[in-house]
Amino acid sequence: MDMIIVKGGQPLHGEVAASGAKNAALPILASALLADGTHTFRNVPDLADVATMLEVLRTMGCEAARLTGRKKDVCEVALSGPITPEAPYELVKTMRASVLVLGPLVARFGRARVSMPGGCAIGARPIDQHLKGLKALGAEIHLTEGYVEARAKQLRGGTVNFDVITVTGTENVMMAAALAKGHTVMENCAREPEVEELARVLNKMGARIEGAGTSVITIEGVDSLKPVDHAILPDRIEAGTLLVAAAISGGNVLVKHAQVEHLEAVVDKLREAGCTITVEAGGLRCKAPRTPTAVNITTTEHPGFPTDMQAQLMALMSVSNGTSVISENIFENRFMHVPELHRLGADITIQGHTAVVKGVKGLSGAQVMATDLRASASLILAGLRAEGPTEVSRVYHLDRGYERLERKLRSLGADIRRVKARG
């Protein structure tokens, strides 16, 4: 098992590129199940979660693989022979986003058997809204032996009103409705850029989807779809993380491919914290003061402040010149990084789903443990500021969603390396 050792103190300088978006790549790979033929996906980030999704597709009988050499950011998914519409527990338990095959399978093959994802470190994360949506399109749903069994001779258009705004729920039902007979209206949908990107890909496949990116999506079902060739949009959360790396180190960094329209809430908070964020050709530049100003953060659905950037901003606020209040409203258990930031000398008090962060003059390096994907990023960011070495263990969490983050940070001047964990 690897760990990452980072020695803080160097302001980061230079240019770095954001990779393709994990949370767009996963539903888009699953959407390949909707059409026979060979799909080509470009700018696919080389992440553990992407590898898992390719494995899920292969388990069903697809040919699904990442190309090599100069095309190593390209994945091809080919459906030719029979498909076993099943996603096993062994894979789903490692990546709950595997549930994104449910909608495409029942829509295309009339049945699906997908393991229930179960809870995760950041919350219970039920899928009741995914199932509610599929039922509204006429699917019969049974839960047996820890699996969702969905069946439908032919899905039909309907009205889906989500009780809670759910990203993968919106994506799952949108993929199913694309092949349902008739008209579907989905209300209270997630508006994340990744939902819009999935609709873009489905429409390229021949679907008739309108309104993605707004809270109401309408779909005219079609009989069949065709394979697609698509380059995936940049990862706004990785780009946001790299901007915070510049901010916490007091540096000056251009994050290439970062799109301001996908990061407005994050950019606003970084500007409020005293950073100069400028839109430059091909990206966003962050020029940061030595000490950030304390700001308050409230996580909400897009276009509000993303929960996936909460931990990173908390690391920044831990060295601010004041007190910031951070409220986490999406997941009930997304403060697992707080006790680890305490080990680096941060002053953070949790009250329910709110954290009060009193900025300290400096952090000092220590051994810390990653507990989930974004928590691991926040510990590395804090390490960029801490005096002495910070050793972050369990970085397999990081590799699920960041493509060689330590190399990118090292290219900006960080003293950071990956080593085999002791013992």
Give least dist CB 210 to ligand EPZ, A: 21
Identity of the residue, 254 or 370, whose beta carbon is nearer to ligand EPZ in the bound complex: 370
Closest CA to 245 of 362, 387, 411: 411
Active site residue 62: no
Q: Which of 62, 75, 120, 275 is catalytic?
A: 120
Give least dist CB 308 to ligand EPZ, A: 4
Identity of the residue, 197 or 391, whose beta carbon is nearer to ligand EPZ in the bound complex: 197
Identity of the residue, 320 or 335, whose beta carbon is nearer to ligand EPZ in the bound complex: 335
Give least dist CB 196 to ligand EPZ, A: 13
Where are any strands of DSSP class E within 213-266?
Answer: 217-220, 229-231, 252-256
Give least dist CB 239 to ligand EPZ, A: 13
CB atoms within 10 A of CB 34: 27
Q: Is 221 helix (H, G, I), strand (E, B) or coil?
A: coil
> In the chain, helix, strand, coil percent, each to 5?
35, 30, 40
Instruction: Enumerate binding residues for ligand EPZ (CB under 6 A).
Output: 22-23, 26, 97, 123-130, 164, 166-169, 190, 307-308, 330-331, 373-374, 401
Identity of the residue, 41 or 331, whose beta carbon is nearer to ligand EPZ in the bound complex: 331
Does residue 286 contact residue 258 with C-beta atoms inside 8 Å? no
Q: Which two tokens stand for residue 266?
A: 């994050």
Identity of the residue, 10 or 23, whose beta carbon is nearer to ligand EPZ in the bound complex: 23
Does residue 238 contact residue 245 with C-beta atoms inside 8 Å? no
Give least dist CB 201 to ligand EPZ, A: 15
Helices within 302-372 (DSSP H only): 310-317, 338-343
What is the number of alpha carbons within 13 Å of residue 177 lying toward its C-beta?
A: 30
Dihedral of alpha carbons 234, 238, 244, 248, sign: negative
Dihedral of alpha carbons 198, 378, 309, 15, sign: negative
Q: What residues are labeled active site?
A: 120
